Structure 1
Amino acid sequence: MPGRFCWVELLTSDIGAAQAFYGEVVGWTCASPGHAERDYRLFFYEGNAAAGLMALPDEAKAQGARPSWFGYVASADVDADVAAITAAGGRLYRPAETLPKIGRFAVVADPQGAPFALWKDLSGMKPPELPPMAVGHVGWRELFTDDVEKAFAFYEGKFGWTKGETMDMGPMGAYQLFATGGDHAVGGMMKRPPNVPQPFWNYYFTVAALDETLEKVKKAGGQLAHGPMEVPGGAWIAQCFDPQGAFFSLVAAKR
Structure 2
Amino acid sequence: MAVLPDGTPCWADAMFADMAGAKAFYGDVLGWTFGESSSEYGNYTQAYSDGKAVAAIVPPMPGQPGEEVHSAWCLYLASSDAATTAEKIRGNGGEVMMGPMAVGEFGSMVIAKDPGGVVFGVWQAGTHEGFEKQGASGAYTWAEVITREPAAADGFFPAVFPYDVKRMDTGQVDYKIFHVRERPVLGRMKAGPDELPPQAPNYISVYFAVDDCDAAVAKVTERGGKLYYGPMDSPFGRFAAVGDPQGAAFGVIDLGTAVGDMPVMVAD
Same fold (TM over 0.5): yes
Match for residue 83 of structure 2 among 79, 82, 106 = 79
Matched, 1:136 2:138: yes
Q: CA 1:169/1:10 → structure 2, altered by over 3 Å: closer, same or farther? A: farther
Q: Please, which moves more after superposition, 238-247 or 52-61? A: 52-61
Match for residue 220 of structure 1 among 218, 223, 226 = 223
Contiguous gaps of at least 5 residues in structure 2: 259-268
Separation (CA, whole Å) in 2 of partners of 1:126 and 1:95 = 18
Separation (CA, whole Å) in 2 of partners of 1:3 and 1:59 = 34
Once the two structures are superposed, residues 135-154 of structure 1 have per-residue CA deviations (whole angstroms, 9 ceiling, x without a partner) of 21111101112332441232
Partners of 2:15 and 2:69 within 8 A in 1: no
Q: What SS does the corresponding residue of 1:86 show, helix, strand or coil? A: helix
Q: CA 1:56/1:239 → structure 2, altered by over 3 Å: closer, same or farther? A: farther
Separation (CA, whole Å) in 1 of partners of 2:216 and 2:250 = 13
What is the percent sequence identity of the aligned residues?
Answer: 27
Q: CA 1:60/1:157 → structure 2, altered by over 3 Å: closer, same or farther? A: farther
Question: Hey, what does 1:246 align to over in structure 2?
Answer: 248
Matched pairs, number: 248
Q: CA 1:33/1:67 → structure 2, altered by over 3 Å: closer, same or farther? A: closer
CA shift for structure 1 position 65: 6.0
Question: Hey, what does 1:176 align to over in structure 2?
Answer: 176
Separation (CA, whole Å) in 2 of partners of 1:129 and 1:29 = 14
Partners of 1:225 and 1:241 within 8 A in 2: yes
Partners of 1:192 and 1:198 within 8 A in 2: no
Separation (CA, whole Å) in 2 of partners of 1:217 and 1:106 = 31
Matched, 1:25 2:16: no
Partners of 2:42 and 2:61 within 8 A in 1: no
Once the two structures are superposed, residues 138-189 of structure 1 have per-residue CA deviations (whole angstroms, 9 ceiling, x without a partner) of 111011123324412321121111223414463xx4111222x243423321
Separation (CA, whole Å) in 2 of partners of 1:168 and 1:246 = 30
CA shift for structure 1 position 32: 2.1
Separation (CA, whole Å) in 1 of partners of 2:93 and 2:241 = 30
Q: CA 1:58/1:72 → structure 2, altered by over 3 Å: closer, same or farther? A: farther
CA shift for structure 1 position 90: 0.4
Separation (CA, whole Å) in 1 of partners of 2:137 and 2:21 = 22
Contiguous gaps of at least 5 residues in structure 1: none
Q: Any residues of structure 2 matched to 1:1-255 within 5 Å, and which?
A: 1=4, 2-32=6-36, 34=38, 36-57=40-61, 66-123=70-127, 126=129, 130=133, 133-168=135-170, 170=172, 173-179=173-179, 181-194=180-193, 195-196=197-198, 197-231=200-234, 233-252=235-254, 253-254=256-257
Separation (CA, whole Å) in 2 of partners of 1:190 and 1:72 = 18
Q: What SS does the corresponding residue of 1:221 show, helix, strand or coil? A: coil
Q: CA 1:135/1:183 → structure 2, altered by over 3 Å: closer, same or farther? A: farther
Partners of 1:78 and 1:104 within 8 A in 2: yes
- Structure 2-normalised TM-score? 0.83
Separation (CA, whole Å) in 2 of partners of 1:59 and 1:113 = 26
